[in-house]
Structure 1
């Protein structure tokens, strides 16, 4: 026993440093194997461009105010081929029905579906979305939310251009509007960080999710895989869980063109954002094992970077510690700069190192949501 104690007393700083090096190595593997794919992404050149007929689907529940502000941006898309917009009004108690009737007088390609009942045992928006998909006339579906607006009039054009032989799913970026304040930067950085992961995994042949604010897939894929039937019991998941089930390394493409982004209003209160993210994270427990392992390993290594860095600075050679940390810091800076530039989040680069430290707190806050029972609401 004395020899073991002597061993640990003598070598524990080296053990601590070895753990720190292991964590940094794992982080570097993720940045080199995955995240660089987004940072240095270049769209494949196409010899010929084809335009497809598209059905845009928006689900709304008591969203009259948002539809007034954002729906015109969807309706006035510049697109040379047939397309329709389906708004599924899911049991709204506000003026949504009458607002849609007014829009229909001007926009003939708008179809409103008014649902006046709930689907028992199917929480969330899977039921209205399924109805919208069933009523869609065209094979390519483009999804967004009632509180989102396309970043340009070419959103529809850019998203559908990503379809070519074998592609059945197109992942887009759903950004948040830039506002003053630290909460806005936290929300946008977390959104950027999530997109960096799911888009880079898709580019590496391991797609695991998409976001309903900006997502496209084929109608035939939805019906061939029986839609949401296996995840109807989960309130969320109409975007990430569905994609997790049906995406393969061959049938997914990504779009990283600022004109193809959508924009949403971020939460203005910290508590509202916490509740929103808890609902989103609660679905990750249903991901495929390989995705849970990869995401878990990355988050765990990310969580331990700064505690181990501080401990090694105090109890080990600070020069070696700083050198090892600097390798990750430089790689991270290069990847973040280029990825933020592509996602039109360049202003966040000046804050990235502070926001990366914030992620340590972020994991503390949201880790319990992985085991929490999902909320029944979809708002």
Structure 2
């Protein structure tokens, strides 16, 4: 490490991003005594994991991993959590950074008990982005049932009448529409970027029909449909008519391994579709499930066994071939797809009730590049420069990864951040 030993060293670490890897990074550093600023742009911690029904390797619900981490955060005086906050600028060098952060107003203070009385009287509705716009929620809302902090948010679009109603409904004087945006500077010695990933924008994949046909959904939308706190309370149904799907197709590598979109493999998509097949099988024992793939990648013995078990299901069909065309059947909402079976050479034409696109993960930093002296690869992932030190990327900000790999990586980057603060 090339840190100048004559420069002052801050004893604080900033973790940018409060998803599962950000939580791990923050806790690993704080539990050995370092002050940590945990910065999250959303109104709650939890990241993508909070949107899942189950996650590998144990197929746990999000509560399994998040609740214990939230408890550890609450019990640790070294962690300062800043939600609805984004990094505006980073100046300085390893050991001595000045980070400017901007916090948007929540319009709800710490008196909030999450009683929900504000939502009962609010009539203004907004798109529910937590469910990828598949339903709507009140403009007075709790981000989700595992929110941390467990505190409501008042959307700025709320009508004047509703603002008066929610203030009157709150028994705890928690609603404060006089809150303003705040910008502050924080001194830290190291920064770990855990900015995570976004589902690739499937509307950009012209030939697969997303955005044109209601019964073409993405893998993350299916995850929300299957979740008890999702738009259908866990029932997987077709968006067009709430019908129980009898035939479901998965189009793997939807936008991944494609020079026109994401040229790399997103690592998690194959296992996600295999997991989704189990969701469907639990609800619909006789449904027929077709998985169209280029290569099925199941990294590790446990994942390979999971795949092997699904291959025993006589109603799950694996087709080695990429979905090339998608259209909608007149009058039914069913989806017609065309693919080529690369083993037989035959062109396949099939009609299904529901098509699920296994869209890949795009690093958030590729879409919203941090204002800091970082190195990025061609795909927008942050490249770690260990010789320079000071700033590091963990989890899916650094590479496509599952939860286990992200957490292992986050632990390592917490150690790298600590090393920046320790003078030799």
Which TM-score applies when normalising by structure 1? 0.25
Higher helix content, 1 or 2: 1
Which TM-score applies when normalising by structure 2? 0.23
